[in-house]
Every structure is written in structure tokens, then in C-alpha cells.
């Protein structure tokens, strides 16, 4: 394809590298340039409107523009546009944000460690798990367990933690210390007649087998997202986290809840840990923490971890970790204002109410011939496209049904997230009932187009 000289598309192709994108195809097809946002809708540079059904990357929880947050950022930049947290320095917005997070934490937490992204938060939590066992003299506890198809980010450690082979390929990753237990996708992976509870027991047994095989006293921590996001919006099957936590307690393995997607009402409670009875030692958070208006993330640590960190300062004289922009005052001020907005909106109540609408509206599409299963909680939902939903027969992967629905949806003005043949929905928390219904209608048109296409 040749682009008009100096068009924005030509400039993009000539200058940018795009993440999670086929770079060769991008040279030919160019970008979709998004110019502005209004609530949960975005508009491209030709003025075309799209309903964004995944809040960008599951993060723009208050929509795609905000006068109120812009003013907060502006005022903070005028007053103090940068300072850091190194060597005892501090700033008021960052302190206030830490206090707020400790107040709303799902379990008692002792302190907050700030960074700039979800990946960095998970990287930091990995380091803190190692630091913790180092304090206790258990230097051999270096292995970290996560799940196949989990997604925890893309720094070297966070992507090693992730269980997505496509993100390891060509990079020589994962690092050897990172192990992956079973992908708890009940719909796709249960045996005929196996109940959710029985499936969860099997998942917990697989975890225990892995721990025993690796050596329990070599395992530092287990990481899990309450709902697996990039794996396809996969809900934990009934009893799953209860059984998993029993195993972790038995071997005294730390539990880190990755709440980067689930935090701040996505699952219909403030935290996914509350929805699924998870009691983590550390919790990582990002995305909706600042409604994605500023890059900021946080690790909440319990007293057990904090006491160990204090002991390490006694020993080494310093907590030798940090990032230049961690706890940035502008990002903190914006995130703090976001928390105020959540409280004014009764974000949990809203997520419950609109979550029920999302589940019912998109749940109606379960009878569509392309749809095998629909499952969700709060304002997150996964839809499995299957050749035969009842018998659980997937489409031939060469048909690329998910990608075709994605392309059809874009034509109908709907931006989706597709994971293989699974469609994922996690709209902004400010979405209105009629907008959910519009998403349902546009999706139905896209599914109908692809069904017709497949029949020919």
C-alpha cells in the first residue's frame, strides 16, 4: 500500500513501532489513528465513531477524556510537576494516595510501593518475594509459579511470569525460575461430567504436584489474576481460589494477587480479591488506579513483607530499589482525584448495576450460532466462539473466526478485544445502559456477517 505523502498514516508507518502488532502487516495496512474520546466512545481522524468495549486496554475506567482530571494534572504541574521518593523525599499527593489505597485494601496491608506500570508492579512484587525469603535465610526460595495463559506484563520478569507462549517466542524467555501451572479454563478444559468443583480440585492437585516436583522449599510465590484478563476473561471456577490457597498455605508460599485489571470495581466489588475470597500477601494494581489518565501502579504489601524489608534495611543500609517516576506527584494527584470520583459515583454499586445489564445483554447472544459460551462477572465478560458450543467443538484455527469477528465489529463501529476465538468485554465503568445495548446490537451485526461468510 502506498500512503499519501506526509499523511498521518505515512508518518506513523515511517516512524513508529507498534506493540502486539504484526509489523509487516502494519507496513501494508497502516494505523487506525484515534483522535479524541468522549465517554466510552472514541473517534478516528476521519471523525468516525467507535464504541470501545474494552476501555482501551481494560483501563480507561472513566472514559477517554476528562476536564476534571485535566485540571488536577494542570494545577499539580504548576505547583510541583516532579519530585521523587528516593532518599527520604516525599510529596503530599503521593502520601495521600498511599493512605487511600491502604484504607480500601481488601485485606490489611502495611505499605504501598509505587511504580509506573502493571509490569513494573509485578516485577517489584517478584523482587520483594525474593527479598522476603532472603531475609528469612531461605535463599533457595527463588522459583515463582503463575498459570498458563496468565498475563502479568512485559518486562523480562513479568513476561516470564506470564504464561503466554506467543510472548516468549523469539525472546529466549521465560527465565528458568518461572513455572506455570494449569490454565483453569473450565468451559474448554473440563472432562465430560466433571463439575466446576471437581475441576477446581484437579487444578489445585496439579499445583501441588508441580510444587512437590520442584521442591516446596524452592518456591517463593504464586501469582494470579482474580479474573484472567488477556488469557480471555477467564473466571475462576467454583471453589478454585479456596483450594489453591489451601495448597499455598500448606507450603507457606506467598500469594500475590495481580489486580491490574480487576482492581477498582471491575468485578463488581472494589477488588477481585473480595469477589473471589483471595487473601494476598501482596497486591499489584495499575490501570483503573488512575483511570489510565496517568501511568502509575502500586504494590500493596502486608506487614509480613514490610517487616522483612525493614530487616533488610538494617542489614544492607538501604532499600536499594526504585524508579525515577515512581510515585510521580502529577500521576498521584490524578489517581487521588480518580478515587474521589469513584467514591462520588459509588463505583462498586454502579459496576454491580451495569454489570448485570452487560451480562444480560451480551448473555442473550449465547443463542447465536457462532457463540459457544458466555461468562462474566461485574463489568468483564468473555464470549467463546465455537463451531458447536454444546459439544465444545472449536472452529478450525485456520478459519480465524475471532479475527474475522474483530474486523467485522470494527466495520460496524465497535472496538473489541479478541484472544484467539474468544471475545473479551470490559467497557469503561462510566458506560450507560443504552450504550451497552448499542454494543450488543453492533456485535450481533458483526457475528451475523461472519456467520454468513462462513456459510458461503
Ligand X SMILES: Cc1ncc(COP(=O)(O)O)c(C=O)c1O
Q: How many CB atoms lie within 10 A of CB 399?
A: 16
Of 225, 269, 281, 421, the residue at the interface with ligand X (CB under 6 A) is 225
Is 260 among the residues that bind ligand X (CB under 6 A)?
Answer: yes
Interface with ligand X (CB under 6 A), residue total: 15
352 touches 270 (CB < 8 A): no
Of the candidate spans 105-113, 135-143, 257-265, 272-280, the one that interacts with ligand X by CB under 6 A turns out to be 257-265
Of the candidate spans 43-51, 80-88, 131-139, 225-233, the one that interacts with ligand X by CB under 6 A turns out to be 225-233
Q: Compare residues 203 and 230 and give the one whose CB is closer to ligand X.
A: 230
Of the candidate spans 111-119, 346-354, 370-378, 382-390, the one that interacts with ligand X by CB under 6 A turns out to be 111-119
- Residue ranges of alpha helices (H) inside 117-255 are 118-135, 156-161, 165-168, 186-189, 196-214, 240-250
- According to DSSP, the β-strands at 282-285 and 297-301 are antiparallel
Show contacts with ligand X in window 226-255 (CB under 6 A): 229-230
Of 64, 132, 151, 276, the residue at the interface with ligand X (CB under 6 A) is 151
- For residues 273 and 107, give the distance between their C-alpha atoms in angstroms, rounded to a whole number: 9
- For residues 373 and 393, give the distance between their C-alpha atoms in angstroms, rounded to a whole number: 12
Which is it for the CA torsion 160, 161, 164, 167, positive or negative?
Answer: negative
- Which grid cell sits at 119? 509490569
Of 91, 115, 117, 177, the residue at the interface with ligand X (CB under 6 A) is 117
Is 144 among the residues that bind ligand X (CB under 6 A)?
Answer: no
- For residues 346 and 385, give the distance between their C-alpha atoms in angstroms, rounded to a whole number: 34
Is 286 among the residues that bind ligand X (CB under 6 A)?
Answer: yes
> Residue 90 CB, nearest distance to ligand X (Å)?
24
> From residue 57 to residue 86, what is the string marking binding to ligand X with x (rule CB under 6 A)?
x-----------------------------
Estimate to the nearest angstrom the gap between the alpha carbon of 157 and the chain centroid: 16
Is 267 among the residues that bind ligand X (CB under 6 A)?
Answer: no
Of 39, 118, 355, 389, the residue at the interface with ligand X (CB under 6 A) is 118
The C-alpha angle with vertex 99 and arms to 97 and 104, in degrees rounded to 5, equals: 95
List Cα–Cα distances, 71 to 84, 356, 410, in angstroms. 22, 33, 33
Q: Which residues bind ligand X (CB under 6 A)?
A: 57, 117-119, 122, 151-153, 225, 229-230, 258, 260-261, 286
Amino acid at each position: 500500500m502506498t500512503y499519501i505523502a506526509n499523511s498521518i498514516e505515512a508518518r506513523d508507518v515511517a516512524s513508529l513501532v507498534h506493540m502486539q502488532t504484526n509489523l509487516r502487516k502494519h507496513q501494508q495496512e497502516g494505523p487506525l489513528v484515534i483522535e479524541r474520546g468522549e465517554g466510552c466512545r472514541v473517534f478516528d481522524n476521519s471523525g468516525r465513531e467507535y464504541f470501545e468495549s474494552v476501555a482501551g486496554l481494560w483501563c480507561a475506567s472513566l472514559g477517554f477524556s476528562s476536564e476534571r482530571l485535566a485540571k488536577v494534572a494542570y494545577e499539580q504541574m504548576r505547583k510541583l510537576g516532579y519530585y521523587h521518593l528516593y532518599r527520604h523525599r516525599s510529596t503530599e499527593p503521593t502520601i495521600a494516595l498511599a493512605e487511600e489505597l491502604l484504607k480500601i485494601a481488601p485485606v490489611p496491608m502495611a505499605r504501598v510501593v509505587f511504580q509506573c506500570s502493571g509490569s513494573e508492579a509485578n516485577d517489584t512484587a517478584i523482587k520483594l518475594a525474593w527479598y522476603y525469603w532472603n531475609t528469612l535465610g531461605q535463599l533457595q526460595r527463588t522459583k515463582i509459579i503463575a498459570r498458563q495463559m496468565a498475563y502479568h506484563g512485559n518486562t523480562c520478569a513479568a513476561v516470564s511470569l506470564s504464561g503466554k507462549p506467543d510472548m516468549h517466542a523469539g525472546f529466549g524467555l521465560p527465565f528458568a525460575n518461572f513455572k506455570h501451572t494449569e490454565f483453569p479454563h473450565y468451559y474448554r478444559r473440563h472432562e465430560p461430567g466433571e463439575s466446576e468443583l471437581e475441576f477446581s480440585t484437579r487444578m489445585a492437585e496439579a499445583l501441588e504436584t508441580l510444587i512437590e516436583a520442584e521442591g516446596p522449599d524452592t518456591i517463593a510465590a504464586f501469582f494470579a489474576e482474580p479474573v484472567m484478563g488477556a488469557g480471555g476473561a477467564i473466571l475462576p471456577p467454583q471453589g478454585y481460589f479456596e483450594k489453591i490457597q489451601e495448597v499455598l498455605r500448606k507450603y507457606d508460599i506467598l500469594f500475590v494477587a495481580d489486580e491490574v485489571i480487576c482492581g477498582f470495581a471491575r468485578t463488581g466489588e472494589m477488588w477481585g480479591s473480595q469477589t473471589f475470597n483471595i487473601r494476598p500477601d501482596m497486591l499489584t494494581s495499575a490501570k483503573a488506579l488512575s483511570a489510565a489518565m496517568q501511568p502509575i501502579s502500586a504494590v500493596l504489601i502486608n506487614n509480613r513483607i514490610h517487616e522483612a524489608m525493614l530487616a533488610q534495611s538494617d542489614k544492607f543500609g538501604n532499600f536499594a530499589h526504585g524508579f525515577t517516576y515512581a510515585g510521580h506527584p502529577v500521576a498521584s494527584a490524578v489517581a487521588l482525584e480518580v478515587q474521589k470520583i469513584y467514591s462520588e459515583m459509588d463505583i462498586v454499586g454502579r459496576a454491580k448495576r451495569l454489570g448485570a445489564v452487560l451480562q444480560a445483554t451480551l448473555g442473550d447472544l449465547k443463542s447465536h450460532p457462532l457463540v459457544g459460551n458466555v461468562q462474566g462477572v461485574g463489568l468483564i465478560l468473555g464470549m467463546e466462539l465455537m463451531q458447536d458450543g454444546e459439544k465444545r467443538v472449536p472452529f478450525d484455527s485456520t478459519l480465524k473466526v475471532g479475527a474475522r469477528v474483530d474486523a467485522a465489529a470494527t466495520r460496524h463501529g465497535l472496538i473489541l478485544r479478541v484472544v484467539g476465538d474468544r471475545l473479551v468485554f470490559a467497557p469503561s465503568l462510566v458506560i450507560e445502559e443504552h450504550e451497552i445495548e448499542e454494543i450488543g446490537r453492533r456485535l450481533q451485526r458483526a457475528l451475523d456477517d461472519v456467520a454468513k461468510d462462513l456459510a458461503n
